[in-house]
Amino acid sequence: MTKPYISLNPKDIIFKHYDSIRRHYDGSSIDRPLAVLLIFFLLPISLFNSLLALMTNKPIFTFQRKVDALNRNVVLRNFTVGLIKNSAVLFDILLGKIGFCGVSICHRLPKPIQFLIENQIRIKAGIFSLYDLHLTTGLSVTNKEQLLEKQLNGNLSDYFSLIIKSMLCMVIYGQNSKQLKDRPILSLFGLQVKNTNMKEAVRWITDPCGKQQKTKVGFFVNVHSVNLSINNKLFFNLLSKADALFADGSGIRLAATKAGYRLKGNNNGTDLLPHLCESTIKNNQSIYLLGSKPTIADKAAKNLKHTFPGLKIAGTQHGYSQLTDKELIENINKSQCDVLLVAMGSPIQEKWLMDNHEKLTCTTALAVGGLFDFYSGTISRSPLWLRQLGMEWLWRLIQEPSKKFNRYVIGTPLFLYRTYFKNLVHLGER
């Protein structure tokens, strides 16, 4: 049977190469054989858990009720006691009650999509889904339906890839725990980090409710900036004075989890910029690009305007200009931009903004590091599978090994040491 291409846009539902109403998600055919293999491999643990339950006069299984994305009730079993207690879900997969990969049990889909899937596609709820994978690593989720569409149109290699990536992320980041606290502000390494998803971060940046009396300043906090702030009190003070600090990268997610917080999203500037552009278009706002090497900001502006028709670029200026700060600020203010993006690298960009933000008239100014390099085409983004694992930093290291050696090869292990062994997550005194 020819595999159909499935489009799940509720406004434009299209089926191509449709030749049978009895259609299956490819992963369904492999669920039970894989479950049998894993049950056999884990048989000693299953026997141990069962005997331990009987010896302690407890039931072998406990059952957890959930509702999947199609609003269907799903019951998952766990061993009551013992090792790898959630491995009991393999029996549910063997019985056909759930799949390894399927629709998420972490959210609901719109009713038109629910109706489409229930009537046209045979797919169970799954313990893994693309949506859940993106949630685990904090990748921006703008359209749940597109993620499901991509998953449904994948082949068996995509099915196994999703399982492997999901299991790796469970090991690295841990599963979502009910014990994690939801807080609007997270105290990490003495810094007060806003706990926002991408939509909330963009809303803060583009708030159209009139001009502020002073320009809001936002910084993105990542592994590198945390390391700098711990080693440099002046830089720590610069970060602390910002109006908002946004969590950027998988390292901050690990630190938040270690501190007992549930981080809403990964607000890295590269993923945020498209949402920012769309929001400024909607709000009739403009952006000014300042920094990076000559021609880079211009190329980035040209590419952004091509990608986002209607985007207003109020001006650009590279970071090697002979203009004085006074002249530069006059040019920025004359442009009447609403959002200023400053790409000078840390700690220079943060210091420049804190020294000059009171002279600016824009609504918001952000320090964005190497953002223009990506959007000018100077540096390529990592493959999606690396981003899904939260390892985009590895791609940057491969591209610029000498330049990024200290930042990643030395800085990343140092950050992990500080996170897990030095108890600096809650550090309040410097």
| Residues 189, 185: Cα–Cα separation, whole Å | 13
Please tell me the predicted confidence (pLDDT) of residue 24: 57
End position of a domain, from candidates 173, 194, 212: 173
pLDDT, tens digit, 9 for 90 and up, residues 87-119: 999 999 999 999 999 888 877 877 777 776 766
**Angle at CA of residue 88, ends 83 and 91, nearest 5°:** 150
384: pLDDT strictly greater than 60: yes
Please check whether residues 160 and 190 belong to one and the same domain: no
| Residues 175, 132: Cα–Cα separation, whole Å | 10
| Residues 152, 135: Cα–Cα separation, whole Å | 18
User: By residue range, what is the domain housing residue 404?
Assistant: 185-420
pLDDT, tens digit, 9 for 90 and up, residues 133-147: 888 887 776 667 778
Q: Answer yes or no: is 375 within a domain.
A: yes
Please tell me the predicted confidence (pLDDT) of residue 119: 65
Please check whether residues 242 and 371 belong to one and the same domain: yes
Query: Which of 307 and 6 is assigned the larger pLDDT?
Result: 307
23: pLDDT strictly greater than 70: no
Q: What phi, psi does 74 have (nearest 5°)?
A: -130, 130
pLDDT, tens digit, 9 for 90 and up, residues 250-287: 899 999 988 888 898 889 999 999 999 999 999 999 99
- Which CATH number goes with the domain that contains 345? 3.40.50.10700
129: pLDDT strictly greater than 50: yes
What's the total number of domains in the chain?
Answer: 2
pTM for the model: 0.82
Please check whether residues 254 and 191 belong to one and the same domain: yes
Q: Answer yes or no: is 427 within a domain.
A: no
| Residues 257, 136: Cα–Cα separation, whole Å | 11
Return the percentage of the chain with pLDDT > 70, whole number.
87
End position of a domain, from candidates 146, 173, 200: 173
Contacts of 188 (CB under 8 A, 6+ apart): 221, 226, 252, 255, 256, 259, 425, 426
Contacts of 196 (CB under 8 A, 6+ apart): 204, 246, 247, 264, 265, 267
Please check whether residues 254 and 395 belong to one and the same domain: yes
Please, which pLDDT band fits residue 382 given cuts at 50, 70 and 90? confident
